[in-house]
Amino acid sequence: MEESMETKQEPMPSLIGLISSPALQFERMKKQPAIALPMFAVFFLSVVSAILYISKIYPDSYFGMIIFLWEFLKTGIFLFVAALILWLIATIGGGKTNFVTMFSLASFVGFVKIIGDLINNAVFRFANVKEGTSFTSLHDVFSVGEPYKSIWGVFDIFTLWALVLAAVGLQKAGGASKRASWIAVTVLFILKFLFAWFFGLFAALFEGIF
C-alpha cells in the first residue's frame, strides 16, 4: 500500500473575506499568513488615493510629486510600525506569534483604512467640495470649530472598523487574550483621540494668528 506524500495546504486568508468572515481569515492567517497580496493592495490603493488628491490640488507640479513619494514612503512606514506594535501587544497579551503574522494582520487592517481614504479623496477629486472634507466620519456633520471638528473626525467608520478588526485579529491570529486585545485597541483609540485634540488646538491657534 502506497502512502500519499501529499499534504493538504492551508487556505490563505482573503481580503474579500474580511467583509463576510473576518474571524475565519484571521484563523487562517495564524497558520498561513498572507503578505504579498495584501501589501500590494495597500500600496496600490494608497497610490491611487494620492493621485486623486494631487491631481486636483497640485496638477503638473513638482511639489505634487514630492507628496506622492511621501505617501508611498509613509505607507511602508505605517505597515512596519503597525506590525511592530501589534506584535508587541500580542506578546504582552500572552500570545505566541511572530512578526510576519503581525505584518500580515497590519496589511489587512491597513487595507480597510485605506479604503476610507480612497473614498474621501475620490469624492474630493470629482465633487465641488473644499479640501479636508471627510465623508466617512463625523468631521463635517456638526457646525463646530476646532478643536471639536478634529475630535469628531476621529469617529470614522473605516477607522473604527479597522480597530475592531485589529482587536479580533490579535486574538485569532496573534493568540492574545480578549481582555488584552480590547484594552490595547482602546488605548490606541484614546491616543488617536488625544492626537486629534492637540492637532485641533494647533489648527485653531494657527487660524487665530493668520
pLDDT at residue 5, rounded to an integer: 40
Domain map of the chain by residue range? 18-204
pLDDT tens track for 8-67 = 677 889 999 998 899 999 999 999 999 999 999 999 999 999 999 888 887 777 777 887
C-alpha 62/C-alpha 59 separation (Å) is 9
pLDDT tens track for 111-127 = 999 999 999 999 999 99
User: Mean pLDDT across the chain, nearest whole number?
Assistant: 89
**pLDDT (mean) for 73-88:** 94
The 8-class DSSP code of residue 145 comes to -
Q: pLDDT band at residue 187, thresholds of 50, 70 and 90?
A: very high
Between CA 16 and CA 24, with CA 19 as vertex, the angle to 5 degrees is 85
pLDDT tens track for 174-185 = 999 999 999 999
pTM value is 0.87
Q: Which residue is it, cell 485641533?
A: 200
Report helix, strand and coil shares of the chain as percent, to nearest 5. 70, 0, 30
C-alpha 198/C-alpha 18 separation (Å) is 33
pLDDT at residue 8, rounded to an integer: 62
